């Protein structure tokens, strides 16, 4: 079985992080040729569903089948087991993912392996494959993110409500429960919803999903409002404005006494909770009592 040092070399090799001396040591391994062929083959395929434990069990069963003869070559068996485990290590690294999370009240800037930039809004999560990024630029997003994508192979962002394929460079995706909105600031993006609706957006265009329909709108600003520290809503159910205040200020509303389906048009900033509460609640005719991080709401 390979040492931890050799396994580390394999991981660094897959991520192109080996220095010249480490690569020289790795190439001395008798199994290096086999690993190289495996990796070169994997680069042409999208990862299927794979059970590494089941695969290892199958390999070991095949090894044990050699016990039909009276004389067992223990060295050969150990080499086979070692090779199987190492192959599984490579495949396991192939499936390995990286996850970023912006917690409540925070925003997070991310640089992807290809040099693309993503800014995550509060309460948002982004996941992508760790290795072979250039052949598989696919991201999973929960929440809201602003993307600046470098040129290259297809770049796809998947959310629970739809998929965005990048045909250009700068765009914003907002996916919060039943709220789904995409705005294009540069280039073009293709939006595909889970109910098979599609729309290609040019610069200055946006769409939102309402009642299973894509509603088009025009954007005049150069970046999303949250990048400047504020949230803006246009005829949006009050629930979503309250949700956003909770994320930005890490507080909790008690909402049982109010109608959250009433439509709200307006916004709030991220640097003063009292002003934010007044900006949203007073126009909606809602009283509030603050008790630490718990805010109770009632109708006026």
What is the DSSP-derived secondary structure letter of residue 5?
Answer: H
State the burial class of residue 275 (Cβ atoms within 10 Å of its Cβ: 0-12, 13-18, 19+): exposed
Q: What structural domains and CATH numbers belong to the chain?
A: 4-95 (no CATH), 97-218 (2.60.120.1440), 229-299 (3.55.50.30)
Q: Give pLDDT, residue 156.
A: 94
Q: Give pLDDT, residue 2.
A: 45
Q: Which long-range contacts (CB under 8 A, 24 or more apart) does 110-119 make?
A: 112/137, 112/139, 114/150, 114/152, 115/150, 116/147, 116/148, 116/149, 116/150, 116/155, 117/147, 117/148, 118/145, 118/146, 118/147, 118/148, 119/145, 119/146, 119/227
Q: Where is 130: in which H helix or E strand?
A: none
CA distance 144 to 127: 13
pLDDT tens track, the chain, 300 positions: 445 556 566 666 666 667 777 777 777 776 666 566 566 555 544 444 445 455 556 655 655 555 444 455 555 555 555 555 555 555 555 557 889 999 999 999 999 988 899 999 999 999 998 877 777 899 999 999 999 998 888 899 999 999 999 887 899 999 988 889 999 999 999 999 998 999 999 999 999 998 889 999 999 989 999 999 999 998 899 999 999 999 999 999 999 889 999 999 999 999 999 999 999 999 999 999 999 999 999 998
236 contacts 90 by C-beta, under 8 angstroms: no
Q: Give pLDDT, residue 95.
A: 54
């Amino acid at each position: 079985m390979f040492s931890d040092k050799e396994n580390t070399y394999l991981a660094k090799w897959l991520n192109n992080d080996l220095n010249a001396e480490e690569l020289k040591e790795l190439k001395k391994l008798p199994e290096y040729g086999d690993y190289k062929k495996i990796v070169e083959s994997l680069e042409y395929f999208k990862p299927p569903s794979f059970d590494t434990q089941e695969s290892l069990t199958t390999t070991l069963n095949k090894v044990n089948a050699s016990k039909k003869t009276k004389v067992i070559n223990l060295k050969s068996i150990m080499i086979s087991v070692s090779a199987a485990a190492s192959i599984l290590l490579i495949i396991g690294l192939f499936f390995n993912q990286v996850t970023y999370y912006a917690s409540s009240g925070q925003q997070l800037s991310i640089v992807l392996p290809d040099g693309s930039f993503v800014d995550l809004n509060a309460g948002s999560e982004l996941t992508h494959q760790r290795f072979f990024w250039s052949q598989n630029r696919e991201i999973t997003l929960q929440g809201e993110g602003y993307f600046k994508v470098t040129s290259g192979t297809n770049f796809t962002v998947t959310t629970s409500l739809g998929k965005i394929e990048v045909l250009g460079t700068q765009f914003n995706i907002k996916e919060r429960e039943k709220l789904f909105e995409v705005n294009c600031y540069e280039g073009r993006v293709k939006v595909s919803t889970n109910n098979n609706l599609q729309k290609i957006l040019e610069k200055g265009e946006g769409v939102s999903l309402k009642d299973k329909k894509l509603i088009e709108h025009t954007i005049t600003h150069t970046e999303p409002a949250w990048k400047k520290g504020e949230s803006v809503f246009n005829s949006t159910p009050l629930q979503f404005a309250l949700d956003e205040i909770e994320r930005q200020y890490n507080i909790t509303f008690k909402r049982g006494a109010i109608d959250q389906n009433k439509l709200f048009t307006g916004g709030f900033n991220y640097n003063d909770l009292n002003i934010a509460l007044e900006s949203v609640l007073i126009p909606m005719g809602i009283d509030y009592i603050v008790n630490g991080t718990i805010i109770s709401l009632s109708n006026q």
